[in-house]
Structure 1
Amino acid sequence: MKLHLRIVQARQEKGLTQEELAELAGVSARTIQRIESGDSVPRNFTVKAIATALDQSFEQLMREEPVPHFAQTAPVLDDQHFLRMLNLSCFSYMIIPYVHFLIPRHVLKSEPILNRETGLFARKLIREQVSWVVIFHLSLILTLAYNLIVVKMFGNRHLVVSYLWPFFIMYLVNAVIISLNAVRIKNNFKSLNTSNGLLNVG
């Protein structure tokens, strides 16, 4: 088990939150978050402080334990399942298009045990949804501006564009984006499993 996973496990066994562990160890909550997600490799003195806060020795926390071969498939399968659920949560834009990206963001924050590649891909999915919200609003604003100009300059209401057009077009575009991401998730993990000699997931 890797160091960041042992820290997560030890913290949960102690019944501590990330904020409580950070306070006991004398580091920032952001530092604990980055360490537990695997985004940051802590220095020895940071590991010692965390070990003391968790009532463990430095050696205990740094010890690498052998992982059985059958357990090596779990992270791959778990990460794929997580990304699938995160991607599906993006469909919440159909109900709350203005702040729907907060849902996948919450899903990401509630899953501290992720490898670096999975975390980066998850953040990319959320950034795409934030970008979609911005473009969605811009399309509505541009439609409004066009309609105002047409009515004021030409007085022809027949040239006015219905707001339903940008609305439905943007909804369709996001459905395509999410569907393409679902295909990428499936293909990327299939390639990973094949290269590692593991069972393909479909």
Structure 2
Amino acid sequence: MQNGNSSLGTKISDSRKKLGLSQEALAEKANVSLSTIQRIEKGTVKPRSFTVKILAETLGLDTSELLSDLLEKKTRISSYSALKRMNSYTLLFVFIPFINLVIPFIIWKKHKEIHSKDSVAGKLLSFQLLWSIFTIIGMFILIFLTNLITGEAGLGHYTSSIVYLLAVVFNVFIIVKTSTQLNKEDTNVLSFVPNLF
């Protein structure tokens, strides 16, 4: 939590120091506890909007500027939450090409904040779409080639099943890797995938 609230805490701390106020004086003037001021300035607490408004008025700052920091953080957290859900839901139907896109697509449509052009969400959907296309085409080609070479249709189904399971394992690996990156709030995921959405 410290990273997101530290800019707010820094702004409050800098403004307090410019006015020559101690933390105790600000707490008294704003009618807020000293520990609240200390935690906000350290960035270890997410202050309520009422507290931010009181502190802004006391310090002569623009309330909307301080509150925009909180709203920006909320939007970022909401975006990462939606991305994590999108990525996780692909696991539900990982064995069924194209169906594995349904729930992530619904989440993508529902959350407008994850629609940017460089969107991680677009890359997640693109990867699943491309994986589905290449898996289906690969299986049919493998069945056709096996039948063409050996003349035995049953052998092609066996071989394509093994290749399909390997494709599913690869997909699960990518989903888990992406999930780990999203947990670290890393937006550089699936860099090898073009964004088709």
Q: The TM-score by the shorter chain falls in which range?
A: 0.5 to 0.7
Query: Partner residue of 1:94?
Result: 94
After superposition, residues 143-158 of structure 1 pair within 5 angstroms as 143-152=142-151
1:15-94 matches, within 5 Å, as: 65-68=64-67, 69-94=69-94
Shift of 1:157: 7.8
User: What are the superposed Cα offsets for residues 64-120 of structure 1, whole Å, 9 maximum, x if unpaired?
Assistant: 943425555322222211110011111133353233212211111011234737x71
> In the alignment, does 2:169 pair up with 1:167?
no
Q: Are positions 1:139 and 2:138 aligned together?
A: yes
Relative distance call for 1:157 and 1:178 in structure 2 (3 A) is closer
Q: Distance in 1 between matches of 2:91 and 2:85?
A: 10
Contact in 1 for aligned 2:92/2:100 (Cα 8 Å):
yes
Contact 2:84 2:179 in 1 (8 A): yes
- Judge conservation of contact 1:143–1:163 (CA < 8 Å) in 2: yes
Q: TM (normalized to structure 1)?
A: 0.51
Distance 2:127 2:74 in 1: 28
Instruction: Quote the Cα distance in structure 1 between the aligned partners of 2:82 and 2:110.
Output: 11
Partner of 1:14: none
2: CA distance, partners of 1:190 / 1:134 = 25
CA distance in 1, matches of 2:161, 2:116: 40
The answer to whether the 8 A contact 2:144-2:156 is kept is no
CA contact (8 A) 1:150 1:156 kept: no
Pairwise CA RMSD of aligned residues?
3.2
Deviation at 1:126, TM superposition (A): 0.1
Q: Using the TM superposition, give the Cα deviation of residue 133 of structure 1 relative to its aligned residue in structure 2, in angstroms.
A: 0.3
- 5+ residue gaps, structure 1, are 1-63, 192-202
Distance in 2 (alpha carbons) for counterparts of 1:112 and 1:157 = 47
State the partner residue of 2:174: 177
Structure 1 stretches of 4+ with a deviation exceeding 6 A read 155-160
Residue 122 of structure 2 is aligned to residue 127 of structure 1: no
Structure 1 Cα separation of the partners of residues 187 and 122 of structure 2:
21
Identity %: 12
